[in-house]
């Protein structure tokens, strides 16, 4: 059992985000692809939480099985908008009792059928969830950061102030994906100016298909650089070339981030590990990971 903050203090980490399967068929498919993940030996894996808590049990099961059966430090995503305080306390108690030490605290999306206002005492913001996680056990708590600002924030300065308040109590932040190293460096500089020196782990999502690029822009609101969009569009009839472009661009970004001294690299894999393995191999990280003892 290992706290992610301790891992980041010990070395430059490589980590991945996984999706919990939504069906038994998807679960079987994920189980087979997790063997490829073992080739990378990531320092930790974070497990997403479906909108409105829709993958609650599957998230829990994947978190526990990764840590117990595959000896991978697991970080459980948890969204407060999907649950009452009592439900969140029960989820956290279950994780604590099963030896899970790392939680990514998110606001998340409320259920689509939510028609009433939250009652007094319920959690409205990710910062509220951070405090609840802190009070529920010796968890290492991560929060999300948005280099371009959260889509719901009134402006970038307000978003930075809110992130800084979250990081007063949280241990680290993991960013939404972005495309330029200067976006990450600006975020870290802004936090330093606000008196925050917690580790900020950059998130990277390789473009592996035209569909991935379209989905990235739609889900995150992060603008795709025009030059990248043109390259991908020109190669849209050649999936292998689109994949090659995506790996090339992400490898360059990761190299620049490592040169800047980041605490780690967090890959949004969408449960496909080929691109992450290719990027880490190009950077010499796969070999380093393979030689590292299991936690």
SS (H, E, C) 276-295: HHHHHHHCCHHHHHHHCCCC
Kindly state the tokens that stand for 133. Answer: 């996680």
pLDDT score for 109: 73
From residue 35, alpha-carbon distances to 32, 59, 66, 272, 282 in Å are 6, 19, 11, 11, 20
pLDDT score for 93: 97
pLDDT score for 295: 45
Residue ranges of E strands in the chain: 13-18, 44-47, 74-79, 102-106, 140-145, 172-177, 200-204, 264-268
Residues 6+ apart with CB under 8 A from 24: none
Distance between CA atoms of residues 104 and 44, nearest Å: 12
* Domain at 4-291: CATH code: 3.20.20.220
Label residue 43 exposed, middle or buried (CB < 10 Å: 0-12, 13-18, 19+): buried
Kindly state the tokens that stand for 277. Answer: 């393995």
Q: State the catalytic residue, choosing from 17, 119, 248, 256.
A: 17
pLDDT score for 117: 47
Distance between CA atoms of residues 45 and 75, nearest Å: 6
Q: What is the dihedral of CA 187, 192, 196, 202, to 10 degrees?
A: 30
pLDDT score for 287: 59
pLDDT score for 291: 54
Q: Is 53 left (phi over 0), alpha (psi -120 to 50) or beta?
A: left
pLDDT score for 160: 98
- List average pLDDT for each run of 10 residues in the chain, which is 295 residues long: 92 94 81 81 90 72 91 94 91 96 90 50 89 96 95 94 96 96 98 97 92 73 85 94 96 98 95 91 75 51
What pTM was computed for the model? 0.92
pLDDT score for 111: 57
pLDDT score for 152: 87
Distance between CA atoms of residues 38 and 70, nearest Å: 8
pLDDT score for 288: 57
How is the chain split into domains, by residue range? 4-291
Contact between 101 and 138 (Cβ < 8 Å): yes
Phi, psi of 204 (to 5 degrees): -125, 130
Pairing outcome for strands 140-145 and 13-18 = unpaired
87 catalytic residue (yes or no): no
Kindly state the tokens that stand for 123. Answer: 């959690």
């Amino acid at each position: 059992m290992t706290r992610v903050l301790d891992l980041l203090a010990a070395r430059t980490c490589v980590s991945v985000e996984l999706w919990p399967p939504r069906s038994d068929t998807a679960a079987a498919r994920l189980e087979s692809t997790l063997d490829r993940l073992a080739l990378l030996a990531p320092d930790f894996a974070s497990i997403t939480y479906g909108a409105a808590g829709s993958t609650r049990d599957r998230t829990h099961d994947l978190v526990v099985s990764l840590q117990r059966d595959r000896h991978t430090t697991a970080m459980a995503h948890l969204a407060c908008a999907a649950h009452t305080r009592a439900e969140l306390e029960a989820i956290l108690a279950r994780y604590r009792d099963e030896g899970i030490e790392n939680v990514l605290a998110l606001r998340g999306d409320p259920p689509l059928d939510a028609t009433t206002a939250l009652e007094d005492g319920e959690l409205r913001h990710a910062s509220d969830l951070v405090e609840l996680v802190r009070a529920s056990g010796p968890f290492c708590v991560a929060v999300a950061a948005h280099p371009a600002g959260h889509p719901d924030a009134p402006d970038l300065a307000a978003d930075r102030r809110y992130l800084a308040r979250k990081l007063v109590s949280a241990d680290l932040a993991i960013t939404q994906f972005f495309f330029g190293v200067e976006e990450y460096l600006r975020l870290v500089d802004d936090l330093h100016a606000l008196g925050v020196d917690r580790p900020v782990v950059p998130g990277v999502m390789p473009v592996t298909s035209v569909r991935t690029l379209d989905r990235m822009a739609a889900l995150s609101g992060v603008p795709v650089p025009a030059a990248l969009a043109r390259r991908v569009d020109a190669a849209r009839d050649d999936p292998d070339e689109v994949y090659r472009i995506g790996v090339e661009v992400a490898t360059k970004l990761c190299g620049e981030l490592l040169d800047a001294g980041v605490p780690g690299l967090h890959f949004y894999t969408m449960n496909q590990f080929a691109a992450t393995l290719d990027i880490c191999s190009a950077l010499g990280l796969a070999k380093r990971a393979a030689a590292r003892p299991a936690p």
